[in-house]
Amino acid sequence: MRISRIGTGLIALCLLGACAQEETVKLDVFYTADVEGFYHSRPEPRFENRVSGGYGILKTFLASQEEPFLLFDGGNWFGSAPEAALTQGTYATKLLKELPVSAAAVNEKDFAFGWPALRGILRELPYPVVVSNIEVDNQIPWPMHDYQIFTRKGIKIGVFGLVGPETVRNHKTRLAGFSVQEPLQAATEMVAKLQSKGVDLIILLNGCGDDDNTAPSDARLAEEVNGIHLILSANKDRETPETDRINNTYIVYPGAKLDSVAHIRLVFDKNKQLKDVLFEDVPLLQETWGEDEALAQEAAELQQQTQLKLNARVSQTEEEITSALGHESVLGDLLADCLYKWSKLDGAILNSDSIRSSLPQGVITEYDLYRMYPYGDNITFLTMKGAAFLKALEASLAAKDNFPQIAGFTVQYNPQASGDRIKQVTLTNGRIVRPQETYRFAVTDHVLAGGFGHDYFIDSLEFKNTFVDARQIMRACLVRQKQITLPKPGRWKIVP
């Protein structure tokens, strides 16, 4: 196998014995990132379609190592593979816990299904997850850590992680109360903290991705923050590994989809000063390393379950059921009806932005359902005064491309009005919503947390989280229909 200096492409002479006269300490670091649901072995085009990749082969490769090592993961478990979306990353808890991971990071894509879903994964992992610049209620959200310190071969190594500001920006209604500290500032502060603890080497697990207006690239971090020895990069979705060196910082991106693993050999002198960094892209070839049978079997079972879910019939429709972001839609009415009938309350409200695609004509499969509503939202029951409800509904009209989809009541409104646009809300039983009377509604916990860009639904008298998945209610509703009957439009009625 070939190990080369970062940025030079030359075989390192020290590995061939030329530096034998000098006392050195060599420490191996392995790194994966952007697995994106490719947890299994498969014929890989990058390696002439030889069977490669996946956690099973990675485990046997790591078992072959004779020297102590550190193993890091950069996150991004969700991606183009349907296994990631359908399992919402829960495959990670089944497979990653079987590997000797030292620490991991996450990035923006891992928050795609909201914090409760991600937290459920992280709490099951037997190793720490480090993200140093994300906070909720002025602290790092449990079970994350801001940094970790490891000691190997007498070398003290500090590790911290970063996410970009887009993490909250892209998922702001699913990350209510979260904030992201500017990465360059956070990195500077973490380097100072780790240096004060006497570490010999500082590693950054960087989930910021490529440079944009708000998230610094690996290169900018290396240029502007002194003291980072090694940046392990993620959140790039690129097939092939990349390496670079800027000033005294070495940068490694391992490539996506887990068809190989990055091997970084750190060489220290007798004073524990980093002398050299050597890089090797190790193809995870089954013919070379073999494959752990237990993990291979687990992966095969997960794949089979996923395939069954993908193809399973849910219902059928004679025409495409379309969604819309800026107005009432047939699909929005249908799904709101499902929540309303299940809850048996006065009404149900769903935000358009959570409905990600239409349902196709013909047979509707589980995969269609997941594409349509990919989020793990739970249903919450609200008890509200009419005045609070009308205020929340009025504010929801101001949400751009996120029109309220409703069931159980109709709304007369004037979209052109300069003041209050809602003129009257009437329940299905004919009862008009009055400001001082009390009503009960079903919403997703996402809506309650600000899914319309406001938090007025929090002004309720009582909350009851049912902990029942909204998509499962929708699924059961559609299964019962067999042949879907489309609801009549007109729940929002324009009046002068």
Runs of H (alpha helix) within 151-229: 166-170, 183-196, 218-224
- R_g of the chain, CA atoms, integer Å: 26
Supply the pLDDT for residue 176: 78
Whether residue 348 contacts residue 470, with contact meaning beta carbons closer than 8 Å, is answered with no
Supply the pLDDT for residue 197: 98
Q: Which of 325, 339, 349 is nearest to 410 (CA)?
A: 349
Q: Which of 34, 129, 133, 137 is nearest to 80 (CA)?
A: 34
Q: What percent of the chain has pLDDT over 70?
A: 93
pLDDT in tens, 386-396: 999 999 999 99
> Interior CA angle at 264 toward 201 and 81, to 5°?
115
Q: CA-CA distance, 381 to 482, in Å (whole number)?
A: 28
Supply the pLDDT for residue 191: 98
Print pLDDT tens along the chain (496 aa): 444 555 433 333 343 344 445 689 999 999 999 998 889 999 987 898 899 999 999 999 999 999 999 999 999 987 656 666 666 777 888 899 999 999 999 988 888 878 888 898 999 999 999 999 999 988 999 999 999 999 999 999 999 999 999 888 877 777 878 999 999 999 999 999 999 999 999 999 999 987 555 678 999 999 999 999 999 999 988 888 999 999 999 999 999 999 999 999 999 999 999 999 999 999 999 999 999 999 999 999 988 888 787 788 999 999 999 999 999 999 999 999 999 999 999 999 999 989 989 999 999 998 899 889 977 788 999 999 999 999 999 999 998 889 999 999 999 999 988 878 999 999 999 999 999 999 999 999 889 988 898 989 999 999 998 878 898 899 999 999 889 999 999 999 999 9
Neighbour-count burial of 318, counting CB atoms closer than 10 A to its CB (0-12 exposed, 13-18 middle, 19+ buried): exposed
Helix axes 55-63, 293-311, angle to 10 degrees: 170
Encoding tokens for residue 158? 């500090």
Q: CA-CA distance, 223 to 220, in Å (whole number)?
A: 5
Q: Which of 186, 57, 71, 161 is nearest to 107 (CA)?
A: 161
Q: CA-CA distance, 127 to 124, in Å (whole number)?
A: 9
* For residue 143, cis peptide bond before it (omega within 30 degrees of 0): yes
Q: Which residue has the tokens 């909720």?
A: 136
Q: CA-CA distance, 108 to 121, in Å (whole number)?
A: 15
Encoding tokens for residue 64? 């072959």
Whether residue 12 contacts residue 3, with contact meaning beta carbons closer than 8 Å, is answered with yes
Supply the pLDDT for residue 14: 40
Encoding tokens for residue 87? 């399992």
148 three-state secondary structure: strand
Considering only the C-alpha atoms of the chain, give the largest distance between any 2 of them, rounded to a whole number of Å.
Answer: 92
Supply the pLDDT for residue 92: 82
Supply the pLDDT for residue 237: 81
Runs of H (alpha helix) within 22-153: 55-63, 82-87, 91-95, 115-122
Q: CA-CA distance, 259 to 70, in Å (whole number)?
A: 19
Helix axes 330-343, 470-481, angle to 10 degrees: 100
Q: Which of 175, 441, 492, 450 is nearest to 326 (CA)?
A: 492
Encoding tokens for residue 208? 């910021």
Supply the pLDDT for residue 7: 44
Q: CA-CA distance, 223 to 210, in Å (whole number)?
A: 15
Whether residue 493 contacts residue 422, with contact meaning beta carbons closer than 8 Å, is answered with no
472 three-state secondary structure: helix
At residue 445, what are phi and psi to the nearest 5 degrees?
A: -65, -20
Neighbour-count burial of 463, counting CB atoms closer than 10 A to its CB (0-12 exposed, 13-18 middle, 19+ buried): middle
Supply the pLDDT for residue 1: 40
Other C-beta atoms within 10 Å of 213: how many?
A: 6
Q: CA-CA distance, 225 to 347, in Å (whole number)?
A: 53
Q: Which of 74, 141, 67 is nearest to 101 (CA)?
A: 74
Neighbour-count burial of 304, counting CB atoms closer than 10 A to its CB (0-12 exposed, 13-18 middle, 19+ buried): exposed
Other C-beta atoms within 10 Å of 2: how many?
A: 12
